[in-house]
Structure 1
Amino acid sequence: MAKDQERICFTVSELAEILPLGKNSLYKLVNRNDFPKVKVGKKILIPAIGLTKWLEDNSGLIS
């Protein structure tokens, strides 16, 4: 993917490479009702926009 293209969604494995969290912690987040995700069959996708908003709403650190 070109550097100028932004990702629109991530898998749990991709987020584990980006965020300072392990897969187990990420799966706990994904299983929360308030965490943004889309399930396509067994695949779980996390929309980038939903993740950013969720982080803003739940951290107080991002503005």
Structure 2
Amino acid sequence: MTEQTIRATITIVEAAHRLGIGRNQAYEAAKRGEIPSIKIGKRLLVPKAAFDKLLNGEAA
């Protein structure tokens, strides 16, 4: 992989897919702070490092 193809974030939809939940449920969980997210412009993104910690049961 080149540096250009390495992403530090995933979309809410990608996070939902990895969690096995629906898109709307993922957006609601991000709004409640259950899924770590950052807003850049109009986009809501999930930092990979924080998401991986969440999946591993570590404190984000």
User: Normalization by structure 2: what TM-score?
Assistant: 0.65
Greater than 6 Å deviation, 4+ residue runs: none
Query: How far apart in 2 are the matches of 1:22 and 1:9?
Result: 19
Q: Sequence identity of aligned pairs in percent?
A: 32
**Structure with the bigger percentage of helix:** 2
RMSD: 2.6
Aligned pairs (5 A) from 1:49-60: 49-57=49-57
Question: What are the ranges of 5 or more consecutive residues in structure 1 without an aligned counterpart?
Answer: 59-63
35 and 15 in structure 1: CA distance in 2 versus 1, 3 angstrom threshold: closer
**Does residue 26 of the first structure (1) align with residue 20 of the second (2)?**
no
